[in-house]
Structure 1
Amino acid sequence: MDHDSLDELDQRLLQALQLDGRAPFSRIARDLGVSERTVARRYQRMRPRGLRIVGQPVVSRLGLTRWLLRVHCTPDAAGTIADALARRPDTSWVTLASGGTELYCALNARTADERNALLLDRLPRTPHVLSVSAHCMMRIFIGATSTWHSTRFRPQDAPAAVGSGADSAPPLSLDATDRVLFTELARDGRATLPELAAATGRSPSSVQRHLDRLRGEGALVLAVDFDPRLLGFHMATRIWLNVTPRHLRTVGEALATHPQIAFAAAITGASNLVASGIFRGPADLYDYVDRRIGRLPGIQGIETAPTLREVKRLAPAVP
């Protein structure tokens, strides 16, 4: 399918879903000025093309720490190692970049032992792994994952800094119903209350109370996943920035407002800010670096690494 076949109404539907992925079609139809049947038909038409609404946990609210791994491998082994990391339940996304010799991986760990089992034991002993660096995500300014969240159509009042207001809040305790809900919503963020009630063995009203608590406490967000290539964006790029400490928050918050950026976080390491951007092509990336990043204060260095393949994305992180 060519991106031109997505008309204005499709794009407005993506925007509405980004505001609230579980919004009733009746409300979306009223906001868009069309019939509920039209909205449902457009939504069902886009699903086979890759549209997903996915419930995602905010790891900081569940007592987890997210780490970003940079793994350098020999070219013949990078794909195999990426696939092995993707099969792990404690990784939420894995991408290949830099000529197929480097991969990036988000690891969610509750304890130092969980983290070290992979970083100090498994990966260093893996054949063809040349080096591993681990960067703790100290603050996420926007995005719970590395994927694209229809950023071109991000409404001004849509939530941006996922989990930023809850970074210092105590972890939210989960019961069995909460865990089942995370699992079901990771499959389909728009699963109906009767479907969720059947999966949890609870009443629809009880399920609704659990959902309201998880969303109200900032532990659950709904991500809109749609292939940006269908809208003409063909270059996903990881951007590593070295920012002076006094400007780190300013730059991170600025990136969160840029429509090209789907993910941005302050991290430990030589590059203290990392972002994921989506661009139409090399010229679009150049203009962004030149006109947007180049005008931000405190930028001391930048490294860009186009994504070659997304191996895993939008995976649940509930232990």
Structure 2
Amino acid sequence: MGSAAMESATLDAPDPFDVKLLQALELDGRAPFSKIAAVLGVSDQTVARRYRRLVSDGSLRIVAVRDHEKLGQDQWMLRLRCAPDGADAIAGALARRPDTSWIGLTSGGTEVVCCTRPRTRTDQDELLLAKLPRTPHIVDIRAQQMLHRFFGGPDGWLMKHGPLGDDQIAALRAKPPASAARAKAPQRIEPEDEPLVAALEQDGRATYPELQQATGRSESAVKRRLAALIASGAIYIDIEYANALIGLHVGAMLWITTAPRALDPVGKALASHPEIAHATAVAGPSNIMATAVTRDIPALYAYLSGKLGRLEGVQHVETAPYMRRVKQLTYRPYLR
């Protein structure tokens, strides 16, 4: 191996401590640094310093996410075929909307893939029936409703890749307070919860005094309501990070067609594959949409031709590698 190749391999290698920290935060995004430090066997200052560095360079963000499936709200996966000179602007405009996530450019930059979660039926109709059809440079629109999540959402992907042991995972996994568990709060977000959820959507690690100021509620009331919302599954605390931090550099959308009787078994099998970051049943020409993430193109090929290709019930797979990710959970410059 030449010196340049050796240097590249070194640069691509993920930092072991970063991966441990990411998995700890995936297990409990609001865990105190002291708790994470105790489990990882380092000082509080080491955890705080590394966390702040990752946040400051744009590699990490922690936010609250509404679980639209648990809340019974519609979600759509959009595939917008665009003229090449318009795709980037269209992706950027969609990314600025609060009801979108997981936006990327695929198919050589001629297709925008976007998950949208309209808050109301009026918002949904306005986007799907009015705005997008009238947008210049869009030449084809496919909207597939998401029917059932096999993997993703509150299921942390690093549980498939992370280095932490079972004892460390158990020590870090967030547990709802006994009061929240007893309350068995319904899976809904009340109008008076909106300031609290909005503040957490900006910063999932906002302190209780900060949340008190944002909501006008007492600190004890904020603690109780946040615990109830998380315990009910209405929201969860998620982490957004650059895939390069864990040594994975290639992402691709997979549009999978199965026989109807194979839909559930194939979806559950995909959920167990380390390469799959998200998988959901959808309505449309294909009936499963999944996101695969691998170290490089040869690893993607090996997955497609091997594990996925041998999966019983899979009839057809359309693969669209990401050229660029425009938005994950939030709109900001995102590092792969």
Please tell me the TM-score bracket, short chain as reference.
Answer: 0.7 to 0.9
| 3-state SS, counterpart of residue 124 of structure 1 | helix
Counterpart residue number, 1:172: 188
Paired residues of 1:18 and 1:154 also in contact (CA < 8 A): no
Please give the alpha-carbon distance, in whole angstroms, between the structure 2 residues aligned to 1:154 and 1:124.
46
Is the 1:141–1:256 Cα contact (8 Å) retained in structure 2?
yes
Instruction: For 2:203, give the aligned amino acid.
Output: D
| SS of match in other structure, 2:85 | coil
Specify whether residues 154 and 128 from structure 1 end up closer, same or farther in structure 2 by C-alpha distance, changes over 3 A only: farther
Partner Cα distance (1:85, 1:201) in 2:
32
- Higher share in helix: 2
Q: Determine the C-alpha separation between the residues in 2 that align with 1:135 and 1:67.
A: 6
- Pick the aligned partner of 2:151 from 113, 124, 142: 142
Q: Which residue in 2 is equivalent to 1:164?
A: none
**Residue in structure 2 matching 1:116, options 125, 129, 153:** 125
Once the two structures are aligned, what percentage of the paired residues are identical? 46
SS of structure 1 residue aligned to 2:272: coil
Distance in 1 (alpha carbons) for counterparts of 2:79 and 2:227 = 36
Cα distance, 1:263 vs. partner? 1.1
User: Where does structure 1 lack aligned partners over 5 or more consecutive residues?
Assistant: 160-168
Say yes or no: does 1:77 pair with 2:86.
yes
Q: Per the alignment, in what secondary structure is the counterpart of residue 309 of structure 2?
A: helix
Task: State the match for 1:28 in structure 2.
Answer: 36
Residue 24 of structure 2 aligns to which amino acid in structure 1?
A
Greater Cα offset, 38-47 or 130-139 = 38-47
What do the CA deviations read for 1:24-80 (whole angstroms, capped 9, x no partner)? 222222221222222222222322231111111101333421100111111111112
Please give the residue correspondences for 1:159-198 in structure 2 after superposition, counting only pairs within 5 Å. 172-176=188-192, 178-198=193-213
Give the residue type in structure 2 aligned to 1:37. Answer: Q
In 2, Cα distance between equivalents of 1:170 and 1:273: 29
Distance 1:173 1:222, change over 3 A: closer
Output the CA distance in 2 between the equivalents of 1:237 and 1:311.
Answer: 14
Give 1:154 deviation, angstroms: 8.2
* Paired residues for 1:21-60 under 5 Å: 21-49=29-57, 50-60=59-69
Match of 1:165 in 2: none
**Higher Cα radius of gyration:** 2
Structure 2 unmatched ranges of 5 or more: 1-9, 174-184, 332-336
> TM-score, normalising length from structure 2?
0.83
Match of 1:292 in 2: 307
| Residue in 2 that maps onto 1:99 | 108
CA distance in 1, matches of 2:188, 2:26: 24
Counterpart-to-counterpart distance in 1, 2:293 and 2:159 = 10
What's the C-alpha RMSD, in Å, of the aligned pairs? 2.6
Aligned partner of residue 52 in structure 2, secondary structure? helix
**Structure 1 pair 211/288, CA: closer, same or farther in 2 (3 Å)?**
same
Deviation string 1:187-213 (CA, Å, 9 cap, x unpaired) is: 221111111111111122111111111
Aligned residue type for 1:283: P
> What do residues 271-300 of structure 1 show as CA deviations (whole Å, max 9, x unaligned)?
100111211111010111123212322000
The verdict on how the C-alpha distance between 1:39 and 1:92 changes in structure 2, with shifts beyond 3 A counting, is: same
Aligned residues: 304
- Distance, in Å, in 1 between the alignment partners of 2:186 and 2:217 is 27
